């Protein structure tokens, strides 16, 4: 874990400088390894918006910048939440000093504090109002979460206590819930769904992600959607139906069955998290046939390609180790899936969903309906040939679809 005193000192200084109107710039940099969807850095400064002092955060990507304005305390909370998860360095520049917080991926921290030789002028903003800051110490200040811990269904799912406090055994799930709804909300900003959209969660399990997604989309973002969780185990379906009814989630329901057997009128967004081996391919195929606008999968247990792989001679010194071969097989499986989706007209991203310390099943593939990429199939064939993969389950399903004219 990061050194708490360093974190407290850094964020206390950030809030104090904002309260005094002396915060010039706060940046987060060094994005987490493998998080290709993250901006290169985040840059924050104080600005006046219609007579109110706000924290303006600029998200700098390789090809664009996105600017968002937040109440100061909320904005600082959002930045704090991402430090150590998404970014590992933070720099604070005030009128009188500079603080640099440097974190390793193992959680070790260094805090450097340097006084400015010459005080710099304050930014041209009015002093923030106290209620905009709510300066509190780190022991009693709650982090901003899209899904507050006091939601009743979280208690029903065993994640929180009756007091709305996250249980020790529920902390990993609670973090995963908030990361998940953040990812889905970002996808919907990029590619909004039409009113009345149908979202299907294939293999919804105990439903904690499904409930959180419904709550956030319907109750927080006020979107007109319905969600169906498909789950094979009847006891889980019955439990989730009871919780949905108890919480008044009228457009959330759960049905029993296999992915193959579920035949809704339409699927606008398809979700399949941790569907084992070729069950992920079955889900992706279901989405392709339904012409889903968005698909989100987190594969696991990628065995089908592994059984068919032939290690290239020049890679045998590397892949002769079992654990590296397993990882290569998983990467190859998901890389081939992404290429097939691109050949079918989807824009894809692969990234780390949850850090490895929380779960080994941490790769997520997102696909948004767009244009076909003609070279994708050529790249698919070349990659398959390189590793001697004679068949790929999703490719076989897609070829069958075209033959059958579905």
Q: In what order do the strands lie in the sheet with 65-70?
A: 65-70, 52-60, 41-49, 23-31, 87-94, 97-103, 109-115
Q: What range defines the domain where residue 259 resides?
A: 152-404
CA atoms within 13 Å, Cβ hemisphere of 155: 10
Q: Are residues 179 and 219 in the same domain?
A: yes
| Three-state SS annotation for the chain | CCCHHHHHHHHHHHHHHHHCCCEEEEEEEEECCCCCCCCCEEEEEEEEECCEEEEEEEEECCCCEEEEEECHHHHHHHHHHHECCCEEEEEEEECCEEEEEEECCCCCEEEEEEECCCCCCCCCCCCCCHHHHCCCCCCCCCCCCCCCCCCHHHHHCCCECCCCCECHHHHHHHHHHHHHHHHHHHHHHHCCCCCCEEEEEECCCCCHHHHHHHHHHHHHCCCCEEEEEEECCHHHHHHHHHHHHHCCCCCEEEEECCCCCCCCCCCCEEEEEEEECCHHHHHHHHHHHCCCCEEEEEEECCCHHHHHCCCCHHHHHHHCCHHHHHHHHHHHHHHHHHHHHHHCCEEEEEEECCCCCCCCCCEEEEEEECCCCCHHHHHHHHHHHHCCCCCCHHHHHHHHHHHHCC
Mean pLDDT of 157-169: 90
Last residue within a domain, chosen from 133, 167, 192: 133
**Quick one: average pLDDT of 353-361?**
48
Alpha-carbon span 348 to 339, nearest angstrom: 8
Tell me the chain's radius of gyration from C-alpha atoms. 24
Flag whether pLDDT at 128 surpasses 70: no
Whether residue 240 contacts residue 252, with contact meaning beta carbons closer than 8 Å, is answered with no
* Residue count (the chain): 406
Through-space distance between the first and last CA atoms of the chain, rounded to whole angstroms: 52
8 Å CB contact between 202 and 188:
no
* Residue 54 sits in the same domain as residue 106: yes
State mean pLDDT over 97-112.
85
Task: Establish if 370 belongs to a structural domain.
Answer: yes
Both 364 and 291 in one domain: the answer is yes
Residues 176, 120 share a domain: no
Model pLDDT, residue 355: 47
Cα–Cα distance between 366 and 33 in angstroms, integer?
18
- Per-residue pLDDT of 233-252, as tens digits, reads 999 999 999 999 999 999 99
Q: Decide if 54 is inside a domain.
A: yes
Among 133, 162, 183, the domain boundary falls at 133
Q: What is the largest CA-CA distance in the chain?
A: 75
Together in a domain, 125 and 243: no
Question: Do the domain assignments include residue 143?
Answer: no
How far apart CA 154 and CA 215 sit, in angstroms, is: 11
Based on the fold, state whether residues 263 and 339 are members of the same structural domain: yes
Same domain, 126 and 83: yes
Instruction: Kindly give, in sequence order, each residue whose CB lies less than 8 Å from that of residue 5, ignoring residues fewer than 6 positions away.
Output: none
Dump pLDDT digits (tens) for 107-119: 688 899 888 777 7
Which residue in the block uniquely carries the two structure tokens 């109107």?
21
For the segment 374-387, what is each residue's pLDDT rounded down to a tens digit? 899 999 999 999 98
Mean pLDDT of 224-229: 96
Whether pLDDT at 360 is above 60: no
pLDDT of amino acid 153: 95
Residue 288 has pLDDT above 50, yes or no: yes
What is the separation of C-alpha 34 from the centre of its chain, rounded to a whole number of angstroms?
Answer: 12
Report the pLDDT value the prediction gives residue 2, as an integer from 0 to 100: 47
pLDDT at 135: 45
- What is the mean pLDDT of the segment spanning 290-311? 85
Given a cut of 90, is residue 296 above it in pLDDT? yes
Percent of the chain topping pLDDT 70: 88
Q: What pLDDT, on a 0 to 100 scale, did the predictor assign at position 308?
A: 78
Q: Is 139 contained in some domain?
A: no
For 212, half-sphere exposure in the C-beta direction (CA atoms, 13 angstrom radius) is 28
Q: Which residues pair with 101 in a beta bridge?
A: 90, 111
pLDDT of residue 354: 58
Strand bridging mode 52-60 / 65-70: antiparallel
Q: How many domains does the chain have?
A: 2
Query: What is the model's pLDDT at position 261?
Result: 84
Between 359 and 48, name the one with better pLDDT: 48
Residues 243 and 368 grouped into a single domain = yes
pLDDT value at position 133? 52
Residue 120 domain-assigned? yes
**Model confidence over 62-90: pLDDT tens digits?**
888 888 998 898 899 889 988 888 889 99
Q: What is the mean pLDDT of residues 178-196?
A: 91
Angle at 291 between CA 289 and CA 296, to 5 degrees: 95
Average pLDDT over residues 252-260: 90
Looking at residue 287, its pLDDT comes to 94
Lowest mean pLDDT among 190-204, 217-231, 268-282: 268-282
From 101, 133, 165, the end of a domain falls on: 133
Is 398 found in the same domain as 284? yes
CATH number of residue 395's parent domain: 3.40.50.150
232 and 373 assigned to the same domain: yes
pLDDT band at 309 (very low <50, low <70, confident <90, very high): confident
The answer to whether residue 142 sits within a structural domain is: no
> Is 119 found in the same domain as 92?
yes
Most confident of 25-34, 187-196, 306-315: 187-196
Mean pLDDT of the chain: 85
Instruction: Give a yes or no: residue 146 inside a domain.
Output: no
Parallel/antiparallel/unpaired status of strands 41-49 and 23-31: antiparallel
Pair (313, 191) in one structural domain: yes
Task: Give me the pLDDT at residue 321, please.
Answer: 80
Whether 355 is in a domain gets the answer yes
What's the pLDDT at 137?
43
How much is the pLDDT for 129?
A: 55
């Amino acid at each position: 874990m990061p050194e708490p005193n360093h974190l407290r000192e850094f964020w206390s200084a950030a809030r104090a400088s904002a309260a005094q109107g002396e915060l010039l710039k706060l940046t987060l940099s060094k994005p987490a390894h493998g998080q290709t969807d993250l901006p290169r850095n985040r840059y924050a400064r104080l600005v006046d918006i219609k007579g109110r002092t706000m924290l303006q955060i600029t998200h700098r990507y390789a090809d664009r910048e996105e600017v968002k304005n937040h109440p100061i305390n909320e904005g600082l909370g959002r930045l704090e939440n991402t430090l150590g998860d998404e970014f590992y360095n933070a720099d604070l520049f005030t009128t009188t000093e500079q603080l640099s917080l440097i974190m390793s991926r193992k959680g070790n921290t260094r805090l450097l504090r340097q006084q400015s030789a010459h005080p710099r002028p304050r930014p041209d903003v009015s002093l923030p109002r106290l209620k905009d800051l709510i300066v509190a110490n780190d022991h009693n200040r709650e982090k901003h979460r899209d899904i507050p811990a006091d939601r009743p269904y979280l208690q029903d799912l065993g994640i929180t206590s009756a007091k709305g406090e996250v249980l020790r055994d529920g902390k990993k799930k609670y973090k995963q819930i908030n990361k998940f709804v953040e990812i889905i909300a970002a996808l919907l900003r990029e590619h909004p769904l039409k009113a009345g959209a149908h979202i299907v969660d294939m293999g919804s399990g105990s439903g904690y992600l499904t409930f959180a997604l419904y709550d956030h989309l319907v109750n927080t973002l006020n979107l007109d959607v319905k969600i169906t969780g498909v789950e094979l185990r009847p006891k889980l379906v019955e439990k989730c139906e009871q919780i949905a009814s108890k919480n008044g989630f009228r457009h959330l329901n759960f049905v029993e069955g296999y992915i193959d057997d579920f035949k809704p009128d339409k699927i606008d967004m398809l979700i399949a998290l941790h569907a084992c081996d070729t069950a992920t391919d079955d889900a992706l195929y279901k989405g392709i046939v339904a012409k889903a606008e968005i698909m989100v999968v987190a594969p696991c247990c990628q065995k089908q390609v592994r059984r068919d792989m032939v290690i290239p001679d020049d890679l045998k010194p590397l892949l002769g180790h079992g654990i590296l071969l397993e990882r290569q097989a998983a990467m190859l499986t998901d890389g081939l899936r992404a290429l097939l989706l691109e050949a079918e007209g989807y824009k894809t991203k692969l990234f780390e969903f949850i850090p490895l310390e929380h779960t080994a099943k941490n790769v997520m593939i997102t696909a948004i309906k767009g244009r076909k990429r003609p070279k994708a199939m050529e790249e698919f064939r070349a990659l398959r040939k390189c590793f001697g993969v004679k068949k790929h389950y999703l490719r076989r399903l897609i070829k069958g679809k075209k033959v059958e004219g579905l």
